[in-house]
Amino acid sequence: MPDKYSAVWVSHSSMGDFIKCPRSYYLHNMYKDPKTGHKVSIVNPHMSLGVAVHEVLEGLADFPADTRMDRDILALYDAGWKKVSGKKGGFTSDEEEAEFKARGKVMLEKVMNDPRFLVNKCIKLPQDKMPCNFYLSEEHNIILNGLVDWIEYLPDTDSLHIIDFKTGKNEEKDGSLQLPIYLLLCDALHKKRKVTKASYWYLESDKLVEKELPDIENARRDVLEIAMKVKEARDVAKRDGFEKTFVCPQGAYNPETKDGGCNNCRPYEFILNSDSLVEFVGVGGFNQDMYILKK
């Protein structure tokens, strides 16, 4: 029987970090503060906006399709926003917070105006305290986990439509592992029906973009290939040490001169070096120590 606790867990974001850079993967997904034993994370306004809007929209799946849009969506948003308000959401001024909150409100008003498939039947994948997950490879003890934002049920074909809500301005790049991962999660955790459609909903521009579904076997091959590289790197790190394995290809960060690396990892290097450029703002929902980057 494989042991889930010793397995390597991979997700869209952790593999994305790994593809970007090995040290980025280490800092975002493995490093734990020796004093608290917690992972660390930098919070920022864009992330908080995404969390607050996603929470409202994904929460609608708990209600029956025909009365779903009767909810007071803006009141739900106001209530949920409290969790990300202030420094713990990465906001450094009231003006900045008000600007981001207003952006989310406009997105939700557009959804209320034209809820599209949100008024149709949907399904949810089985989940306990952890995000949805399954063994991508029992042989290699690798678990793939993630959350699909919305899964519409398509009665005409008795199949599924997977949707990802986007609160950012940037379009998902071609070659992203997001849809392959969603497809694999649905295939493993909802055996009854196949996924036949996939879309990104860009909430700011209110644009729904249908994407071609990847072939399931190609999706499995591509995701496993990256996941195996992650596992191999972790195995090497266990043997040779994390700092020797997960090195920045642009040169190690120098805390004296603050040179080295790039902006992607630098805020995390500030945390590791107790730099005054970052400020601790609390412990997050996944027990991670949260910091903001001071301006």
- Contact residues for ligand SF4, defined by CB under 6 A: 20-21, 23-24, 248-250, 261-262, 264-265
Cα 124–Cα 135–Cα 285 angle in degrees, nearest 5 = 60
φ/ψ of 209, rounded to 5, equals -115, 115
**Closest separation in Å from C-beta 243 to ligand SF4:** 12
**Closest separation in Å from C-beta 9 to ligand SF4:** 21
Nearer to ligand SF4, 104 or 267 (CB): 267
Give DSSP secondary structure letters for 98-156: HHHHHHHHHHHHHHHH--GGGGS-B-----SSSPEEEEEETTTTEEEEE--SEEEEETT
What gap in Å lies between CA 97 and CA 77, rounded to an integer? 14
**Closest separation in Å from C-beta 265 to ligand SF4:** 3
Long-range contacts of 236-242 (CB under 8 A, 24+ apart): 237/26, 237/30, 242/26, 242/30, 242/31
Nearer to ligand SF4, 249 or 285 (CB): 249
Which residue of the chain is nearest ligand SF4 when measured via CB? 21
**Closest separation in Å from C-beta 262 to ligand SF4:** 3
Nearer to ligand SF4, 141 or 264 (CB): 264
The token pair at 61 is 């799946």
Between strands 289-293 and 278-283, the pairing is: antiparallel
3-state secondary structure of 167: coil
**Closest separation in Å from C-beta 19 to ligand SF4:** 10
What gap in Å lies between CA 73 and CA 105, rounded to an integer? 9
Nearer to ligand SF4, 209 or 226 (CB): 226
**Closest separation in Å from C-beta 144 to ligand SF4:** 23
Whether the Cβ atoms of residue 32 and residue 46 lie closer than 8 Å to each other: no
Between strands 150-154 and 142-146, the pairing is: unpaired
3-state secondary structure of 83: helix
**Closest separation in Å from C-beta 12 to ligand SF4:** 17
Nearer to ligand SF4, 92 or 264 (CB): 264
HSE-up of 110 (CA within 13 Å, CB side)?
16
Nearer to ligand SF4, 85 or 264 (CB): 264
Nearer to ligand SF4, 23 or 220 (CB): 23
